[in-house]
Structure 1
Amino acid sequence: MPLLDFSAIAAQLPDTWKSTRLGQVGPARIKVLRMDERAYEEETHDYNEGLLVVSGQLRLRIGAEEIRVQAGQMYLVPAGTAHAVLAGSQGTLVIIDV
């Protein structure tokens, strides 16, 4: 895999909250997106999802709990877990799907 500058790639994306797939390492798919302060609706996946904040912050709602993920931190969402992004999330997010 080539050298990837997640922030630079995210800055070039035409739309916020639309990820682009960068590659795959084993079974893990690696994607990047740009967050823009808007909320994103609740979703559930049949795979595990790692949400790695490269810059800014991610505000997640898991059930009734709000979780703040700061730059340099990653939250692991187990398969089958409903999660939503709350308003105020901004920056660059790397998503690792397994």
Structure 2
Amino acid sequence: MNEPIDIADKLSQFSDHWSPKVIARLNDYEIKAVKLKGEFVWHTHEDTDELFLVIDGELTIQLRDGDVTLKPGQLYVVPRGVEHCPVADGEVHALLIEPTGVVNTGDAGGELTASYDDSLG
């Protein structure tokens, strides 16, 4: 039988920003813990929605038609194909829920593309 997952414990095991870590799996989806700070890159996920659930801090998701700001305990789903850019003024702890294999920078690529990390799962 699986043990409960302590999200705070998982988040305490790493310090890098914009590098999601797989902490659990649900069917064909991964639940990823991530620390965010600063501005990410504008990008799109053409084939999937992307769920952001803020655990600590305040996250703004910039959208071309208006921004969404999330506080702890709030979530937002960016619909597939919608260009977005997360911004965290201070450090934010969050969970992402997305299909297995989704690349964090979507179609943008670049230096902020995280390597796949399931070491915490």
Instruction: Please give the range of the TM-score, normalised by the shorter of the 2 chains.
Output: 0.7 to 0.9
Structure 1 residue 5, shift from structure 2 partner: 2.1
Q: Which runs of 4+ in 1 moved over 6 A?
A: none
Instruction: Report the number of matched residues.
Output: 97
How far apart, in 1, do the equivalents of 2:6 and 2:36 lie? 16
- What residue number does 1:63 align with? 64
**Distance (whole Å) between structure 2 residues aligned to residue 87 and residue 93 of structure 1:** 11
Q: Distance in 1 between matches of 2:95 and 2:88?
A: 18
1:43 is aligned to 43
TM-fit CA distance, 1:89: 5.1
Q: Which consecutive unaligned segments of at least 5 residues does structure 1 have?
A: none
Asked if 1 retains the 8 angstrom alpha-carbon contact of 2:10 and 2:23, the reply is: no
Q: CA deviation at 1:14?
A: 3.8
Bigger CA drift: 69-78 or 23-32?
23-32
Q: Which runs of 5+ in 2 are unaligned?
A: 100-121
> In the TM superposition, what are the counterparts of 1:68-83 in structure 2 within 5 Å?
68-83=69-84
| CA deviation map 1:14-44 (0-9, x unaligned) | 41110011221122211111122x1111111
Query: How high is the sequence identity, in percent, across the aligned residues?
Result: 24
Deviations 1:18-75 (A, max 9, x none): 0011221122211111122x11111111211110001111111011411101100000
Q: Do structure 1's residue 33 and structure 2's residue 54 form an aligned pair?
A: no
- Point out the structure with the larger strand share: 1
**Alignment RMSD (CA, Å):** 1.6
Please state how far the C-alpha of 1:9 moved relative to its aligned partner: 1.4
Contact 1:32 1:94 (8 Å CA) reproduced:
yes
- Letter aligned with residue 32 of structure 1: A
Using the size of structure 1 for normalisation, the TM-score is: 0.86
CA distance in 2, matches of 1:68, 1:35: 14
Larger Rg: 2
